[in-house]
């Protein structure tokens, strides 16, 4: 089960990185929309509203990406709060089709297993729990 937990942590790190890349691209699009709003001689309201929406969704993606990356790092270190956060984030990832759903199902399968739970609670003995 240890290999599944390590893979799950890595997948959460990658998923968080993808979220951060998407957030950066949306923030760049927001800057472009804001520039259009400033230079348009007509009604800049539409471009301004678009820029605002890009910023809101970019900030949400950045927050989710950071949370997923942080939980992935904590899961790889067998921290109990990382397990809890990964399970909570997986509920939200269920609605991100198809990759978020697959990650959420795999997260539930791995982290709700009794062997994985024992890894995070530290009941397997100190010789198996050593982590670099």
Tally of CB atoms within 10 A around 23: 20
CA distances from 37 to 28, 55, 56 (A): 14, 14, 17
Domain ranges of the chain: 2-121
Per residue in 46-88, pLDDT (tens digit) is: 888 999 999 999 999 999 999 999 999 999 999 999 999 999 9
pLDDT for residue 129 is more than 60? no
pTM of the shown model: 0.84
pLDDT for residue 130 is more than 50? no
**Share above pLDDT 90 across residues of the chain, in percent, rounded to a whole number:** 77
Per residue in 33-46, pLDDT (tens digit) is: 999 888 887 778 88
């Amino acid at each position: 089960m240890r290999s599944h937990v390590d893979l799950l942590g890595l997948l959460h790190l990658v998923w968080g990185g993808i979220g951060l890349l998407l957030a950066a691209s949306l923030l760049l699009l927001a800057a472009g929309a804001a520039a259009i709003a400033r230079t348009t001689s007509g009604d800049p309201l539409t471009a301004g509203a678009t820029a605002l929406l890009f910023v809101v969704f970019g900030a949400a993606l950045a927050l989710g990406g950071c949370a997923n990356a942080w939980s992935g790092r904590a899961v790889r270190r067998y921290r109990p709060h990382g397990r809890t956060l990964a399970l909570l984030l997986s509920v939200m990832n269920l609605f991100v089709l198809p990759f978020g759903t697959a990650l959420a199902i795999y997260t539930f399968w791995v982290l709700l297993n009794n062997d994985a739970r024992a890894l995070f609670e530290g009941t397997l003995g100190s010789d198996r729990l050593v982590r670099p």
